Chain A
Amino acid sequence: MSGQSLLNNASSERKKLMRNYSTGIYIHIPFCIRKCNYCDFFSVPLPAKEYLQRYTNALVAEISQRAHEGAGKKIESVYFGGGTPSLLSTEQLETIIRALDDNFRLPADMEISMEANPASLNARKIQDFTNARINRLSLGVQSFSNDDLRVLTRIHSAEDVRVLIDILHSQGLENFNIDLIYGIPGQSMDRWIKSLQTAADSSPMHISMYLLQLDPGTPMAMDIKKGRMAMLDEERELEMYTLGREYLQGRGFDHYEISNFSFPGRECKHNLIYWQAGEYIGIGCGAVSFMDKSRFINKPDLKAYLYAIENRQERPVEEIEKMSHKGLIADAIILGLRLCSGINMEKFRSRYGIDISREYSEVIKSCSQKGLLKIENGQISLTRKGYFLSNEVLCQFIA
C-alpha cells in the first residue's frame, strides 16, 4: 500500500468513527410558572403568555439560521429542556418540531424528549404532545412527599404526580423518567425510601436521583446561611445515595451513570451524547452547543436574544471554550467516567490518538491503589467507591 493510500485510509477511518458519534439537538425553553428556591438553571418566570409565541418564533428563526450546522451529521436525539418546556402549547411545539424536521431532517423513530413539570400537563396535552412526536418525558417529580415539595417550593403536589402517571400509562407513554432529589433539608430516611418506592412503583423506564447541591446565589442557599434551614450532613447524604442505588437495582434498574438508572436499553440517548463527548447543537436563549471542537453558549439574556433574532442580527453568542486536543481529551475522560461502564480505551485511542492507560499511568496507578478506579476488559471506570469521590479522581485528569 502506498503512503498516500495509507493516509486516505486513516482519514476515512476517522470519518467513519466520527459518524459513529451522533449529534443531539437541545432546545432550551427558559420559562417557569414560578422559580423554585433551589434552582440555578437559566429560567425566568413567564412574563406573559404571549412570550411563548414570540419565543417560539425566535426558535424557528434560529433553527433555520443554523441548519447548515447539521450538514453531514446524524441527528440522533432532540431534547426539550428548561425551564419548563411543557408550558409550550401543542401548536407551538408542533411548529418547532416541524422547523427542526425541515432543517435537520429528523429520522422517524428518533428519541424526542421533553422535560415536564407535573403541574403543567394534563391528559389532553399529553395526547397532543405524543402526536407531535414527543416520545419520552422527563418528569420533574423531585419527591413524593408534600413536605419535601414544600421545602423545595415546587408548584405541584405528590397527588398531581400520581394522577399524571396514571394518564401516561393509560395513554401508553411508558418511556418516561422520574427525577428525584435527595438531601433535602428536613428529609428523613423514611421519606426518601417512600419516594424511591413510589417512583419505582410508578413503573418509569428511567429514574434520576440527584443530590441537592445549592448554588450560593439561590434563595435556599440564603436560608441555609441565615440558619433558617439546614442541609443534611454528609453521612446522611451518602446513606441516601447508597440506599437509592441499592433499592433501584433491586427493582431491576441498571445503574448506568453516577446519578442515573434505567431499564436496559432505556438510557437517555440525549444524555449519553453528552457523556460520550458527542456534539450537540443548542438552540434557544442560554443553550450550550458543542460543535467543531468548541463549546459556546447563546447568552442567557432573554431580551438580547429576542431582539437579535427578531431584527435578523447575529444571535448573541459567548464562546466558552475553543478546545485544544488536550482539552478535548480531558473533557472526554471527565464525562466518560460518569458512565458506570466507563470508557472503552481502544475506542478512545482510535478517536483521540492516545492510550489512556499509558498517558495517565501515574494517576491511574494511584487512584486504583486507593480503590477508586478500575480497568477491566479494556474499559476504564470508576469503582463503586469512586462514584462518591469522583472529583478526586477527575481533577487529576484535567490539564
Chain B
Amino acid sequence: MHKRIRNFSIIAHIDHGKSTLADRLLQITGALSEREMREQFLDKMDLEREKGITIKLQPVRLKYSSKDGQEYILNLIDTPGHVDFSYEVSRSLAACEGALLVVDASQGIEAQTLANVYMAMELNLEIIGVVNKIDLPGAEPELVKQEMEDVLGIDRDEIILISAKTGAGVEDVLEALARQIPAPDNKEDDPLQALIFDSYFDSYKGAISYIRLVSGRLQKGDIIRIMSTNKEFEVMEIGVLSPYMTEVQSLSAGEVGYMAAGIKNVNDTRVGDTITGAQRPAQKALPGYQEVKPMVYCGLYPLENNDFEKLREALDRLKLNDASLFYEPESSDALGFGFRCGFLGLLHLEIIKERLEREYDLGLLATAPSVVYKVILTDSSEMYVQNPTRWPEPQKIEQVMEPYVKATIMVPHDYVGAIMELCQEKRGNYLTMEYLSPQRVMLTYKLPLSEILYDFFDALKSRTRGYASLDYEISGYETADLIKLDIMLNGEIVDALSFIAHKDKAYYRARAIVTKLRKIIPRQMYEVAIQAAIGNRVIARESVKAMRKDVLAKCYGGDITRKKKLLEKQKEGKKKMKQIGQVEVPKDAFMTVLDIDKD
C-alpha cells in the first residue's frame, strides 16, 4: 500500500497560485463535490481568506487514479509562503518526499522561493517545477523556465506549464506527482515513529495533532508516548483529512493523518515532537525541528483589565500549533498587566493579534514592536533587551548591539538604483550583486533587522512597482549607536511608548512621532503636552490644545433623543481610548512609533 503513497509540499511565493492550484487538485481528484467546492478551500483561517494571503494550507489527502491504471494516495503537506514563517518550511518539508515548485509565469522566481527550494534540495526532496498562470497576457513561460533552470538547476524540459485558474495542465501535475515522487520507505514493521507537523486545539477532542508516520503502525486504543516528555496517552481517534476529518482504523508508515489522544496540555503535543508506542518504543526520536527564536517583541494588553486571564488562556491555545509564539507576563505603568510576546515577524504579530481578538473575543492594545538588542554593560555583563522600558541607564552601557540580517532582493535591473538608495537609507551595507538573467538581478545586503521590520517591504514594493521580492535571514549581532527615546504626556513618561532609535535618526523620529501623536490624540479637557526626550533632554515637543466647546446649540424637547445619540457616540468613543494619567490616548497610538516612516 505504501508504494502508492506520495507525500508532497507546494513551494510558492505569495500570490503565485498555491490556493488556486490546490482547489483544482481537490476538484480533479473528486475530493469535493461541485456543491462542496468553494474557492481557496484549503485556506484554513477566515483571516487568510479575507486577506487573500495564504500562510499555509490545511493538509489534505487525495486519491488519484493515474494513467498507469493504479490509484495513488497524494498527501499535501503545505509549506508557508511568507518570510515570517520560513522556519516552518523545514517542518513541512521533513514530512515529505517531494515538492511542487510553483512559479508565476508573469513574475518569475522570487527571493523567498529560492531559499525554500534550497532547503528542499538539502532534504533530498524530488522537485517538480511548475509554471503557473500561463493564461495571463503578460505570461512569459519560456523565460521563467529558463530562469528556473539557470538559478535552480531544474531541467527546463521537465517543467510543467499550467493555468491553475483554467485547469490547463493540472492533470499533468497529478501524473508527475504519481510518477516522479518516491514512495515513502517501507518501515511498517519497525517501532512507531510519527512526526507531529502541526496541531490545534479542539474544544471537544482536546489537542488534534497532524502526524506523518515514518515507521510502524498506529491504531485507535494504542497507548502512545510523546518522546520529549515521556508522557503516555491513549489514542482516542485517528483519521485522515480528505479534506474533512474521516476516521480510520489504522495508519501505517508513510501515511499522513490526524490523531486525538485526549491531550489537554499544550506542551504535550509540540510540533516537531516524535510520537512512539508505549509497548515497543523507538530507540530515537526523529530529527526534531530546530527551535525558532522570536525576532520581534511587543506588549499585548487587554483593554479590559480583567481580561488578563482570558488572554493567557487564549495564548496557551494558540501556542499549541505555533511553537514560535512566545509570551510572558509583564506590566506597564501606563497599561497595567499584559504579556510581552515574541513573534517571527510583523505578519505573524498581526495574525496572532487578530486571531486573539476574533477567535477569543478580546480587545487588545499592542505596543510598538521591538527587536532584541544585546547590551554590554560597563561591568562587562551582557543583557538582551526586548522591551525598551528595560533599557539600562545610559551611564551603565558600554556597548549596544543589534540584530542584522542578510537580505536577498530580486529585482528587474532597471530598479537596482532605487533598491540601493533604499538600503542606504536603512543603514544597509552592500554585499553582492548577481545577474540571474539579462533582465533580473539578485542583490544581497546586510541590514539592521529593526530597519526592515516595519515598512521596508512596502517601500521596496512601491519603489519597484511591485517587482522586487525580499528574503532574509538573521546574520548576527553588530555594534550600533543606539539610544532610547522616551515619550512624555504632560511631563509623565509613558513607558509603553518608549522606543530605541539610531542616534543619527533620533531627532527626525522624535519629531515625526510627536507630530503624529498630536494628530491622533483627541483634544481633551486640558492642553496635552507631548514631548520626546533622550534622558532628561527634550528634543521635540508639540501640544494638543484643550477641547473648547461642545454643545451650545439649541436643545428643545424633541431634541433630547438626538442629543442622547450624540452622547452615546461620545461615550463609545471613550471606550476606544486608554486613560493614561489624565490623558485619553487612542489604543492604536502605541503602534505609531513605527508607523511614522510611512508618511
Q: Which residues of A contact B (CB under 8 A)?
A: 26, 81, 208-211, 213, 234-235, 237-238, 241, 258-259, 271, 274, 280, 282, 287-288, 290, 295, 297, 320-321, 330-331, 334-335, 338, 370, 372, 387-392, 394-396, 398
A391 B548 Cβ-Cβ under 8 A: no
Check B570–A274 contact: CB distance below 8 A. Answer: no
Find out whether the CB atom of B549 lies under 8 angstroms from the CB atom of A210: no
Contact status A26-B548, CB under 8 Å:
no
**Structural contact, A210 and B558, CB atoms closer than 8 A:** no
Determine if B566 and A391 form an interchain contact, defined as CB atoms under 8 angstroms apart.
yes
B525, B552, B553: the one contacting A392 at CB < 8 Å is: B525
Chain B residue with Cβ nearest A288: B558
Q: Which residue of A lies closest to B554 (CB)?
A: A210
* Measured CA separation A258–B550 after assembly (Å): 11
Known contacts A389-B525, A395-B567, A395-B574: A282-B557 contact under CB 8 Å = yes
A390 touches B550 (CB 8 A): yes
With A26-B557, A271-B556, A287-B558 as known contacts, state yes or no: A234 contacts B548, CB within 8 Å. Answer: yes
Q: Given A372-B525, A398-B568, do A335 and B560 touch, yes or no (CB 8 Å)?
A: yes
B468 CB to nearest chain A CB (Å): 40
A-chain residues with CB within 8 Å of residue B556 when the two chains form the complex: 81, 271, 274
When chains A and B are docked, how far (Å) is the Cα of A41 from the Cα of B553?
Answer: 13
Q: Which residues of B contact A391 (CB under 8 A)?
A: 550-551, 566-567, 570
Contact with A along B568-599 (1 / 0, CB 8 A): 10110010000000100000000000000000
Chain B residues contacting A282 (CB-CB under 8 Å) are 557-558
Contact of A320 among B561, B563, B568 (CB under 8 A): B561
**B547 on interface, CB distance cutoff 8 Å:** yes
Tell me which residues across on chain A come within 8 A of B574, comparing CB atoms.
Answer: 395
Per a CB cutoff under 8 Å, which of A209, A321, A338 touches B561? A321
Q: Is the CB of B550 within 8 A of A274?
A: no
Partner of B549, one of A208, A237, A330: A237
Interface residues on chain B, size class: 20 to 34
Q: Does B564 contact A (CB under 8 A)?
A: yes
The answer for the CA separation of A238 and B552 in the assembled complex, in Å, is 10
Q: In the assembled complex, which residues on chain A have CB atoms less than 8 Å from the CB atom of B568? A: 395, 398
A235-B570 Cα distance, complex, nearest whole Å = 21
B234 to chain A, nearest CB (A): 53
- The residue among B525, B557, B560, B563 with the most chain A CB atoms within 10 A of its own CB is B557
User: Which residues of the other chain, A, contact B550 by a CB distance below 8 angstroms?
Assistant: 388-392
- In the complex the two chains form, is B549's CB within 8 Å of A331's CB? no
Contact indicator A398/B557 (Cβ below 8 Å): no
Complex Cα–Cα for A235 and B54 (A): 51
Contacts of B570 in A (CB 8 A): 391-392, 395
Q: CB-CB < 8 A to B554: which residues of A?
A: 208, 210, 259
* A interface footprint on B535-558 (CB within 8 Å = 1, 0 otherwise): 000000000010111111111111
With A and B bound together, what is the CA distance between A213 and B566 in angstroms? 13
The 4 A-B residue pairs with the shortest CB-CB distance in the complex, in nearest-first order: A288-B558, A391-B550, A211-B552, A395-B567
Asked if A234 contacts B549 (CB within 8 A), the reply is yes
* CB-contacts of B492-510 with A (<8 A): none
Partner of A295, one of B547, B549, B552, B560: B560
Measured between beta carbons, the chain A residues less than 8 angstroms from B552 are: 209-211, 241, 258-259, 387-388
Task: Name 20 A/B residue pairs within 8 A (Cβ), A-sorted.
Answer: A26-B557, A211-B552, A237-B548, A258-B552, A259-B553, A274-B555, A274-B560, A288-B561, A334-B564, A370-B525, A370-B526, A372-B525, A387-B552, A388-B549, A389-B547, A389-B549, A391-B570, A395-B570, A395-B571, A398-B567
Known contacts A282-B557, A335-B560: A258-B551 contact under CB 8 Å: yes
- Kindly list chain B residues whose C-beta atoms are within 8 Å of the C-beta of A290: 557
Q: A334-B564, A395-B574 are in contact. Are A211 and B525 (CB under 8 A)?
A: no
Most buried by A among B558, B563, B564: B558
Asked if A334 meets B563 with Cβ closer than 8 Å, knowing A210-B552, A211-B553, A370-B525, the reply is yes
Report how far A300 CA is from B550 CA in the complex, Å: 27
CB-CB nearest in chain B for A271: B556
Residues of B within 8 A of A238 (CB): 548-549
